[in-house]
Amino acid sequence: MPDVVGAHNAGERGNPPHRVVIVGGGFGGLNAAQSLKDAPVEVTLIDRRNFHLFQPLLYQVATGSLSPANIAAPLRGILKGQKNTRVILAEATDIDARKRRVILSDGEAPYDTLIVATGSSHHYFGHEEWRPAAPGLKTIEDATAMRRRIFLAFEAAERETDGERLREWLTFVIVGAGPTGVELAGALSEIARDTLRHEFRRINPAAARIVLVEGADRVLPAYPPCLSAKARAKLEGLGVTVKTGTVMTDIRADSVRVRSGDQAEAIAARTVLWAAGVEGSPLGRALARATGAELDRSARIRVEPNLSVRGFPEILVIGDLANCSPPASQPLPGVAQVAIQQGRYAARLVRARLQGQGLEPFRYRNRGNLAVIGRAAAVADLPGLRFNGYLAWLAWLFIHLINIVEYHNRLLVLVQWAWNYFSFNRAARLITGDNPLPFGG
């Protein structure tokens, strides 16, 4: 197997530098790499993709507000000035913890320190058969596929002459009322009521039914109850049917079944969007096999307080894949803030160890949570401050804008948000993909 790391500094081999391999270029991995700038180490960042993705705005791609490139930044571009860092486009398939190397589909990467930051993927509560009917939202491809489904549903409805099927095409079910589910529901309502207004001749897009299904007893379960209530009221004001305390029991191409307590209900719908369960990415399972690390219920790696794997202090796990909380307590939420802080912590730990020192355990500083519900509506749960409405929405806009990597993307996003806001339009609502049209034929 070719060694993809070895040639970093071929030539000056007197005192081989400490090799840090980071797998995953999301918020955690990228921040770890950036925080190792100018450190006396050789950093290799491995990702399957050539870009960092700003996932909190992925739902805006799925709903036609932004283009994929607006929320993505090429990893090589971000890191090109960082001389101790190399980027490798490759798929990591396994970890050989004894020999200290990452196994790639076409090579291997030996490490002295390994930082695993491969995040999470969807899971369907044991119902893998739901996946084709209810796509999730983790990648650019997920987002353009979801966009395709949403806008094709209205096109199919315009072509439909059968009343029952017409209703199926105009019913959208969103599973999970966390921030993504709430954001999708609000955006769908705007698409139906504003964006597509006057664009169809047979159907009235505003007649679309949007159903948000959540197993917990309120929307945004991770937020304070008072904000959940505000969010629910706002969603209902937007015409969204909110079903809390309700679980999915079946998902098919033209209908879903839900249960609320003893009551079962079938909803005829051809578009189901999955914003519910996530679990640790497959590399996490490989790491658990290789190290004996424990996985939690969501396939996250249970790590030590300093984010390392028990018995393998040179392996750190950060971001959505890591569970650093004591077994009985609630794990940290799978949000960008946690991953960013853990990435920076991991880099600090590497630097400290090189100087023979340790580091206090990782501690998450919660800077607050924001979820947008729709046009000029959001909820904010900041330390010591809870508010909602227009001001929360402005805070959301501002915080997301300044956190987007690369200046020009900030400008592009700002231009499009302003235009979308004032025109009620969504310019990026392209139906792409080579698949045939799903109706007729």
Q: Which residues belong to the active site?
A: 183
Site for its own copies in 40-99 (CB under 8 A): 48-51, 67-70, 72-74, 76-77, 80-81, 86-91
Smallest distance, Å, CB 226 to its own copies?
38
Q: Bridge-partner residues for 174, per DSSP?
A: 212, 273
Q: Is 263 in the site for its own copies (CB under 8 A)?
A: no
The helix/strand/coil state of 388 is strand
Please, which residue, 383 or 440, has the CB nearer to its own copies?
A: 440
Q: Is 409 in the site for its own copies (CB under 8 A)?
A: yes
Q: Is 433 in the site for its own copies (CB under 8 A)?
A: yes
Nearest one of 154, 24, 147 to 91, comparing CA atoms: 24
187 to 184, 250, 288, 317, 420: CA distances (angstroms) = 5, 25, 39, 34, 12
Smallest distance, Å, CB 243 to its own copies?
31
Smallest distance, Å, CB 166 to its own copies?
13
Residue 389, token pair as written in the block: 């409405």
What's the N-to-C CA distance of the chain in angstroms?
Answer: 48
The helix/strand/coil state of 76 is helix
Strand order through the sheet with 92-96: 92-96, 101-104, 107-110
Strand order through the sheet with 18-23: 85-89, 41-47, 18-23, 113-116, 312-317, 308-309
Site for its own copies in 200-219 (CB under 8 A): 200-202
Residue 284, token pair as written in the block: 């996490």
Q: Is 171 in the site for its own copies (CB under 8 A)?
A: no
The single residue among 32, 57, 140, 276 that binds its own copies, judged by CB under 8 A, is 140
Q: Is 425 in the site for its own copies (CB under 8 A)?
A: yes
Residue with tokens 């339009």: 425
Please, which residue, 50 or 249, has the CB nearer to its own copies?
A: 50
Please, which residue, 158 or 294, has the CB nearer to its own copies?
A: 158
Binding site residues, its own copies, CB under 8 A: 2, 4, 7-8, 48-51, 67-70, 72-74, 76-77, 80-81, 86-91, 104-107, 140-141, 144, 151-152, 155, 158-159, 161, 196, 198-202, 406, 408-409, 411-412, 415-416, 419, 423, 425, 427-434, 436-437, 439-441
